[in-house]
Structure 1
Amino acid sequence: MKDDEINPWELLAIARASMRPVQGHWTWRSSRLGPGQEKSVEEIANASAVLEAVGFDVGNVRAGNDPPDCEALIDGELWSIEVTELVESRWLSSAMKDYRLLKPLPESFHWTRDALLTRLQERISVQDQKSRKYAHLYLRRALVIVTAEEDLHAHAVEKFLHGAVFYAERITDVLFGLDYHPSPDGDGKSPVFRLKINKP
């Protein structure tokens, strides 16, 4: 590492200290980071956490050329990785306003199976179209979707995803990471689901 470079763990500590106060588990932003750094730190951290959670041998995750957000050696192959967050934006906007005014937060958005599957497919389709620019450069092309939606707990998501199939032309792997789930045994985690992807 060069003398004028910032240690990535220092960047992580800075960003982690400034999580979004509402549904902020996957947010790692901070104005103390330089231009472009905060987005890269968040994307690299979230991509690494989700990929490792499902058992991939992940090495050397680094910022991509945007697109893609990141690239990494995974099980010895070069992958592209796009990272996006699933939020109910209208609820979050209202909740952030109430938080700043020290008011009780509104009741959390109620997710149905149809709503979740539709939103996931929309995210997949957008990123699949985006990947046309770089798909030929990578053996595998992953999409990491993270969420801290309160209503999307592991049991509900597992039930919603049962039998679900999503479609993408170029994206090969889609991973859906949830908010942190505490455990009485102290071994809490953020559950991750690997979505079934077929070509259209």
Structure 2
Amino acid sequence: MQTLREEKGPPLPLSSMRLFIPPLRLVCAALWQVVERRDIMDYGLLEEFATSVLEIVPELMTYRERVQLLMGLRARLVLELCRCDDELCRPDTVQPHLNRIRSCVSNQKGEVSDPKVEASEASFMKLIETLLEQPEERELFFQFLKHVNDLMHGLYSNAWPHTQLPVTYSATSQVSLRLDFPRDMLFSCPILHS
């Protein structure tokens, strides 16, 4: 029995590859617009494209890098859904995205699991569960994130008042204790600060 490749002959000639390049460039350009506009509701498309590319060329990133990228994009989308009105912040709306996060964390092709990645996923799932079940905690969490985002933006524009540092650290500690969420995770995940 012959494989498909053997039945079809040699790989595509270089001249035929030109037919694939324009659509790929178009998709990349469209996705770049999503990134530039920070259109969070389309981050799922960006994650799906990145997943496809990484399945084709897995050596582009290590397991940890790949999971950080894919989980970060999908997590940002989930947080945006939770931040929106109650119509979007429902388990049936959020659950498919949480399933995608779980699938990107699961090992593929014999990769060694990473305890830090698994702990990060577990913390995020617990956070989302809290945000879905407790609207008052959700409101406090997003007020806090806005505060942190404003401070981080100020830090990078050199307009950040240094007197805010103790307040920020204290607020971070309180939220991490209330939600059992690692304090450094909020500052180490750049996708949350967009």
| TM-score under structure 2 length normalisation | 0.27
Which structure has the larger Rg over C-alpha atoms? Answer: 2
Query: Which structure's residues are more often helix, by fraction?
Result: 2
Query: Which structure's residues are more often strand, by fraction?
Result: 1
